[in-house]
Amino acid sequence: MNAIAQRSAIGLKLPPKLTQQQLDQLLDAHVRWLGGKAGGRRLVLKFFEASHLDFNDRDLTEAEFVGGSFVESDFSRAKLQRASFYGADIRRAYFIDADMTRVDLRAACLSGADLEGAILHRADLRDGVMIQAGHDGQLDYSKAATATTNASGASFIGAQMTESRLGRAIGNKTDLTNCNLANASLVGADLTGSDLTGTIFRGADLTETNLSNCTLGGATFAEARMTRTNLEGADLAAASLDGAFMQEVRMAHAKYPVDPLRIGYDLDAALAAHAKWVDSEGREGKQLDLEAYDFSGADFSGKRLSAAKFLRCTFRKASFEGTDLAFANMTGCQFVGAGMAGVKARGANFAKANLMGADLRGADFSALPLPPGSARPSWPTRLSDCQATGANMSGAKLTDAIMRRTILRGADLTDADASGADMARADLVKATTTNFRR
């Protein structure tokens, strides 16, 4: 099978162009090659033009895409272990939920690509060296030059990038919400203005990494190496820098969470005023409405916090046992290691909250019934884009909750009930699901 030969208007040899039919034949041959069957052949698309084609759901283990063009092609759910995209053009390509373990993405252009939920364990996204072709189409080694991996504008939402090597690759304004970069190398990477909400940097090397003007709500940096890291102008509300090794870190104009003790904030009085506001249906007292406060270790056990607003607040190791959080807005808050057993949070909004390691045994996150005559019968609890790795949610009620893209890796969901819940693209890898209903 031959790809379509092409030449430019001035006679230069152009990359061979594949049709979907030709590609399907090559993909079938690659599967046979993987299985050691007759007629098999490894997929090698070196310098091919294969844009706008479908590779989704295929086993592409050890396939070679070096220097090729795959613009807007679809690799969703494909198995790409040890595949090479060295120097490839994969702008706006789809790698949703693909297994890209140990994939080579050096010198590749991933601008605008969608890698949501992809596994990029030990992937290599460092810069590389590109060799240009001469007029005859042959490689001209005299034209070798350093090529930068470009992932600006790409989406890595919920991607597992543990132990990956990024160098200066990622680029600014990249969406890494709830991405796991544990033990990854980001030495010198420029992530200026990126969304790093809920990102895990545990043990990562952030030497000279530029995180200026980034949103870091709920991000964790335990054991991260942060030498000459740039955090200027970064939003650190609800971020956890505990356990990070920090030296010569630049933090000018960074936005820190408010320390209530430092400003003389009377939490007990505020709680009493809110309870009065709830009891009087808003006629007396005052609603709790706070943003970017640090209440680490505070005790809210048994308190009445229904309809309270705590945006991007820190509740690290705080106590919420039996607390009433019905219809509360806890968007972007950090609850790492918090005690929340039996919390009553029906109809609450926990979107983009960090619940890593939280004790949520028997918590009630089920939909809140609305009065007769309402436009809808109930108001669902929102847990979308939550980072709940390692949380104990045994016996929790999650019926009809919205849990899109929620990270539940290693969480304990024993006897939990998520009947009717929207768990589209939720990550339950290594979660304990004994008697879990959904």
| Cβ atoms of residues 367 and 347 within 8 Å | yes
Instruction: Report H helices in 18-177.
Output: 20-34
| Confidence (pLDDT) at 138 | 54
- Which superfamily, per CATH, for 263-438? E3 ubiquitin-protein ligase SopA (2.160.20.80)
**pLDDT value for 268:** 95
**Can you tell me the distance from the alpha carbon of 271 to that of 401, in angstroms, rounded to the nearest whole number?**
27
Burial (CB count within 10 angstroms: exposed 0-12, middle 13-18, buried 19+), residue 262: exposed
Structural domain boundaries in the chain: 263-438
The pLDDT value given to residue 135: 53
pLDDT score, position 10: 35
Q: Is the whole model's pTM more than 0.75, yes or no?
A: yes
Q: How is 85-114 classified by DSSP, letter by letter? A: -TT-B-TT-B-TT-B-TT-B-TT-B-TT-B
What pLDDT shows up at residue 147? 63
Give every residue of the chain whose pLDDT is below 70, as ranges. 1-15, 128-147, 167-172
Structural tokens at position 125: 């996204």
